[in-house]
């Protein structure tokens, strides 16, 4: 049964969490969505994974049903939010998508891996070569016509069209955060070498799941960090878990089983 809980962060912000699955499960999947995205985007996977394991999906600050404060839109605070989100759980498989993958890496760098059984990074650049192409004028276009740019952004996440009510709901959620704070999340100035160092420093099992835009980075991470497991979704969009949900869920369950076999 799916339910929500709220908790207060150490800087006074209430964050919302979707929970499902058996509390006594051997592992807990903890899901971190991407830039401006709500936790409900994971709902089909919460349902599927929750048949076997505990699942918790975070609405980061400013996203989903969490508070929308005017502060804390930086990697240090977001990593602290993840740390506080994970306090009730043990043996966590931390799954971060897009910006959420970098926030998950920042969490491991600042707060350690004591809570983790494994880490899954989904379709995000992790500092390996090759350097991704420039993002063009995305931030300028956000400032000049936010409505159009966000509509195009939501549509471009998928290789297969989504139902219009779902797209409309998602677009509404993406706009909850202020323009300035949403841009702040994308303007950290942290060099990409930092993310490479964070990924290489991870001691727990690491699964890197990507679309073709990051395939070469994935193969380089596999080569440069022994033990890394990679999976390429050749025909999916950035929201690869939505385009190929059964494959994604099967991959997560297989990764979880590999972790429990090692215990």
Instruction: Show pLDDT as tens, one digit a residue, over the chain (263 residues).
Output: 899 999 999 999 999 999 999 989 999 999 999 999 999 999 999 999 999 999 999 999 999 999 999 999 999 999 999 999 999 999 999 999 999 999 999 999 999 999 999 999 999 999 999 999 887 899 999 999 999 999 999 999 999 999 999 999 999 999 999 999 999 999 999 999 999 999 999 999 999 999 999 999 999 999 999 999 999 999 999 999 999 999 999 999 999 999 987 54
Residue 71 structural domain: 3-261
What's the structural domain count of the chain? 1
Give the CA radius of gyration of the chain. 17
Q: Is the dihedral of CA 162, 164, 168, 173 positive or negative?
A: negative
Cite the beta strand spans of the chain per DSSP E: 3-8, 14-20, 28-32, 54-59, 92-97, 116-122, 206-210, 229-232
CATH number of the CATH domain containing 62? 3.40.50.1820
Residues 18, 8: contact at Cβ < 8 Å? Answer: no
Is residue 132 within 8 Å of 213, Cβ to Cβ? Answer: yes
Task: Report the pLDDT value the prediction gives residue 196, as an integer from 0 to 100.
Answer: 98
pLDDT value of position 135: 78
Residues 207, 44: Cα–Cα separation, whole Å? 20
- What are the two backbone dihedrals, phi and then psi, of residue 42, each rounded to the nearest 5 degrees? -85, 0
Looking at residue 157, what is its pLDDT? 97
């Amino acid at each position: 049964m799916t339910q929500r809980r709220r908790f207060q962060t150490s800087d006074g912000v209430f964050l919302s969490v979707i929970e499902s699955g058996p509390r006594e499960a051997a592992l807990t999947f903890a899901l971190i969505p991407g830039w401006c995205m709500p936790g409900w985007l994971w709902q089909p996977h919460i349902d599927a994974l929750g048949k076997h394991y505990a699942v918790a999906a975070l609405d980061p600050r400013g996203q989903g049903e969490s508070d929308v404060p005017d502060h804390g839109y930086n990697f240090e605070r977001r990593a602290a939010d993840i740390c506080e989100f994970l306090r009730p759980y043990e043996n966590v498989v931390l799954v971060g998508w897009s910006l959420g993958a970098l926030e998950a890496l920042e969490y491991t760098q600042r707060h350690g891996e004591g809570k983790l059984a494994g880490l899954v990074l989904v379709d995000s650049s992790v500092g390996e070569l090759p350097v991704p192409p420039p993002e063009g004028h995305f931030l300028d276009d956000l400032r000049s016509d936010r409505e159009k740019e966000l509509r195009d952004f939501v549509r471009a996440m998928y290789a297969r069209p989504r139902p219009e009510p779902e797209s409309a709901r998602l677009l509404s959620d993406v706009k909850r955060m202020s323009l300035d704070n949403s841009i702040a999340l994308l303007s950290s100035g942290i060099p990409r070498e930092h993310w490479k160092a964070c990924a290489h420093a991870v001691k727990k099992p690491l699964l890197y799941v990507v679309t073709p835009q990051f395939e070469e980075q994935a193969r380089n991470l596999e080569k440069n960090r022994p033990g890394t497991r990679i999976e390429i979704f050749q025909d999916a969009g950035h929201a690869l878990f939505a385009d190929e949900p059964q494959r994604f869920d099967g991959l997560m369950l297989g990764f979880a089983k590999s972790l429990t076999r090692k215990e």
